[in-house]
Structure 1
Amino acid sequence: MKSHPAFPALLLLCSSLAALAGDWPRFRGPTGDGVVTEAQLPLRWSTNENILWRTELPGPGSSSPIVSQGRVFLTCWSGYGRDLQNPGDPTQLKRHALCLDRRDGKILWDHPAPAPLPETPYVGPYLPQGGYASHTPVSDGANVFFFQGKNGVFAYTHAGKALWHADVGTNKHDWGTGASPVLFEDLVIVNAAFESDTLYALRKADGKVAWSVKGMARAWNTPALVSAGGERPELVVAIAGRLRAFDPRDGRELWHCRAINAAELCPTIVARDGIIYLLGHPAGQAMAVRAGGRGDVTATHVVWQLNKGSNVSSPVWHGGHLYFANDSRAQLYCVKAASGEVVWEQQLQPRPDKIYASPILSGDLLYFPTRNRGVFVIGAQPEFKLLAHNPALDPTPFNGSPAVSDGQIFLRSDRAVYCIGGK
């Protein structure tokens, strides 16, 4: 039977729709852009309202939870680096891969892995902000894959059976690392920019390298699969001063363009209708680039650039507008996606310390988690409207982005995981 040219894209769409029925299998959800397309979410909650369960964790972490087949997966660290004044013995540092029962939060399994030494010490203003467990896992519905920095990549069944482990580099960085893995067909894509300056594609079956690409300078962001109108998506990663797109089957570079140049590129891109939206830079920058093309597309594919943006948190697209939060100023922005024109900007009050988590969109509601001031719910519209402010559920930092499943929100802090939903 002859395959229709759109058939591969249709398969990707069907698999995404299946995941949307209840799973949140990767960083920022099934489509990787923070968009929720299922049941209505709670608008308000507190420590004594709409909390279905709470589970204490073995240690802190900045990774986001994911939800797959009735289980919640996330990471944390323990043994070292809980107290700046007395961090402890680095030889005791462990990174944990965790699985919880989504019904009641019970920890079903916990796989701690000793950190390879030397490790970045728990000192200074940067690493303690994020710590040693910032990579969000990814699941294909049967197995789950954890990228844990210098510890490498681990594959487990949902029941917790170890399948394989792959090393992807041993370099360390004073700020830690945090890119999350993504799946494409039978591959696990890992941005090991700081571990080895390499973008890896590992085979899901055994962890062997299918392909790898060097030259991933200062890329903290999670790779994104972007539809450019062809039979298969493009794999796009922002590095220092450049946006690069690859064929996810073999790692061949398709195109590149000059882009935001910063000491770190943390926000994950989002894309809509073939346009890629990128944030970055401590001062705040944003840009839009048309996907597709070959070679250097700087002169032909850059749509707009803006001196507003975020250095950590990723954006959300809705209704022809791009919404994002500046991480250090705790200021929200709405810009026109077609032109980059600023529609509104608003300082959050009470003002949060910082915003590291990325927002989610449910219907016409935007949920912006902050490190220490809880979650602000904003109308996704071209006029600022604060609909709810839900105070922090505990006094520790909330760095992870929310996961959503069947109308429930899964939120993690350095202390605990919370399941939020109507009773």
Structure 2
Amino acid sequence: MEKRKLSMFRYIFIVVLLSASFAELQAQDWPQWRGPNRDGISKETGLNLDWTAKKPKLLWTFRDAGAGYSAPVIVGTTLYSQGAAGSKDFAFALDTRTGKLIWKQDLGPMFVMDRGNGPRGSVSVDGDKLYLVRGGGQIHCLSAADGKMIWQKDFRKDFGGNIMSGTDWGFSESPLVDGNLVICTPGGSQGSIAALDKNTGRVVWRSKGLTALGGYSSAIVAEIGGVRQYIQLTRQGVAGVAASDGKVLWTANVAGNNTAAIPTPVCRDNIVYVTSGYNAGC
């Protein structure tokens, strides 16, 4: 019971190392899931990596992040994330220098699930806007300055989408912003992947040749053989679709599974790496 209670709440702890100045820490933003290039690589230097020799000083703690699994992102001196409390999902922004709340925006009814309530994915920041997907399958575009809603869509109601699992653990995707498009994965017969106009939420294209149900992975963008494409892991395996129109370029029946396809693909030197649990392997 105690573990159940702990899973329902999370706290954000931001630690600034004394060995690096604020200017150095702000040299590279972390505006989306897995960083600037969605590859988990930070190019920051001068950080204290040996905490046994010199522990970093805790500057502040924010205790109102609510329930959920969303990882924070940072642009400049602002931290963005999403959470849930009081029967509502919400997004919020903090000042990284003080830990003070800049704004909080209610998004709708809280996603409720026995493995933990609230959102799963991270916010994606693009200029003066941010984008997020909630556990119930709603995608939102908000103003980065004050959190005001610009547009919202529902994966199931607007796009005919659905999640792959018999048990709905909640849409967990962190949307990908590429040029004028927001890439997301509602799943379903109209096309697993959807490209939306980032300013209006209008559907630009659907991957009609790829119709797997939505999984728990987040798409990446890569240029392979001179062709820009979006790569995503689904129930059936991994696939690449053309960034221009969503046409399926290739598929590989590897790393998919019937329970939950979760990890984000990795692409390096024109080679795509994918892995998955539930005996799927890599």
Q: Is the pair's TM-score, using the shorter chain for normalization, greater than 0.5? A: yes
Amino acid across the alignment from 1:76? G
1:204 aligns to what?
A: 198
Distance in 2 between residues matched to 1:33 and 1:78, nearest whole Å: 31
Contact 2:231 2:238 in 1 (8 A): yes
Would the alpha carbon gap of residues 75 and 189 (structure 1) be closer, same or farther in structure 2, given more than 3 Å must change? same
Aligned equivalent of 2:128:
142
CA contact (8 A) 1:26 1:138 kept: yes
Q: Secondary structure at the match of 1:279?
A: coil
TM-score between both structures, scaled by the size of structure 1: 0.53
Distance 1:253 1:151, change over 3 A: closer
Alignment of 1:54-65 (within 5 A): 54-65=61-72
Opposite residue 165 of structure 1, the aligned amino acid is Q
Residue 259 of structure 1: aligned partner: 254
Asked if structure 2 preserves the Cα contact closer than 8 Å seen for 1:155 and 1:165, the reply is yes
Q: Counterpart of 1:317?
A: none
Structure 1 residues 210 and 98, CA gap change in structure 2 (3 angstroms): same
Number of the residue aligned with 2:244 = 249
Write the distance in 1 (CA, Å) between the matches of 2:140 and 2:279. 36
Aligned residue number for residue 48 of structure 2: 42
1:166 aligns with 2:159: no
Offset at residue 136 of structure 1 (A): 0.7
Match of residue 107 from structure 2:
113
- Once residues 229 and 103 of structure 1 are traced to their aligned partners in structure 2, the CA distance between those partners, rounded to angstroms, is 43
Q: Which amino acid aligns with 1:268?
A: T
Q: Report the counterpart of residue 229 of structure 1 in structure 2.
A: 225
Give matches, 1:81-92, under 5 Å: none
- Measure the CA separation in 2 of the matches of 1:114 and 1:205: 21
Cα distance in 2 for partners of 1:141, 1:21 equals: 16
Indicate the percent of aligned positions where both proteins have the same amino acid.
Answer: 26
Quote the offset at 1:115 in angstroms.
1.9
**Post-superposition CA distance 1:6-64 (Å, at most 9, x none):** xxxxxxxxxxxxxx942111100011110011223332559x84222211124122111
Matched AA of 1:280: S
Contact 2:183–2:194 under 8 Å retained in 1: yes
Match of 2:6 in 1: none
In the TM superposition, what is the alpha-carbon distance from 1:146 to its structure 2 partner? 1.5
Query: Is residue 221–residue 265 contact of structure 1 (8 Å, CA) maintained in 2?
Result: yes
Counterpart for residue 22 of structure 1: 28
Give the direction of change, closer, same or farther, for the CA distance of 1:216–1:115 in structure 2 (3 Å limit).
farther
Equivalent position SS for 2:136:
helix
2:137/2:170 contact within 8 Å kept: no
State the 1:147 CA deviation.
1.5
Cα offset, 1:203, TM superposition: 0.6
Deviations 1:203-257 (A, max 9, x none): 1111111112351335210001122130x42101111232211112221111112
Q: Which residue of 2 is the match for residue 193 of structure 1?
A: 187
Q: Can you list the C-alpha shifts for 1:374-406, whole angstroms capped at 9, x where unaligned?
A: xxxxxxxxxxxxxxxxxxxxxxxxxxxxxxxxx
Query: Is the 8 Å Cα contact of residues 82 and 119 (structure 2) preserved in structure 1?
Result: yes
* Deviation of 1:148 (Å): 1.4
In the alignment, which residue of structure 2 is the partner of 1:15?
none
Given the alignment, which residue of 252, 277, 282 partners 1:281? 277
SS, match of residue 272 in structure 2: strand
Any stretches of 5+ residues in structure 2 without a counterpart? 1-25
The structure with higher relative contact order (CA 8 Å, sep 6+) is 1
Amino acid at match of 1:216: A
Deviates more, 1:171-180 or 1:277-286: 171-180
Cα distance in 2 for residues equivalent to 1:152 and 1:177: 9
Aligned residues: 243
Contact 2:139 2:152 in 1 (8 A): yes
Deviations 1:90-145 (CA, angstroms, capped at 9, x unpaired): xxx211111111221211111112228xx6x533xxx33xx321111111122111
Contact preservation (8 Å) 2:89, 2:119: yes
Matched, 1:122 2:113: yes
Distance in 2 between residues matched to 1:101 and 1:267, nearest whole Å: 30
Whole-Å separation in 2 of the counterparts to 1:238 and 1:277: 10
TM score, norm. by length of structure 2: 0.78
Question: Offset of 1:274 from its aligned partner?
Answer: 0.3
8 Å contact kept, 1:236–1:246: yes
Please give the alpha-carbon distance, in whole angstroms, between the structure 2 residues aligned to 1:122 and 1:223: 24
Structure 2: how far apart are the matches of 1:49 and 1:24?
20
| Residue 419 of structure 1: aligned partner | none
Larger Rg: 1
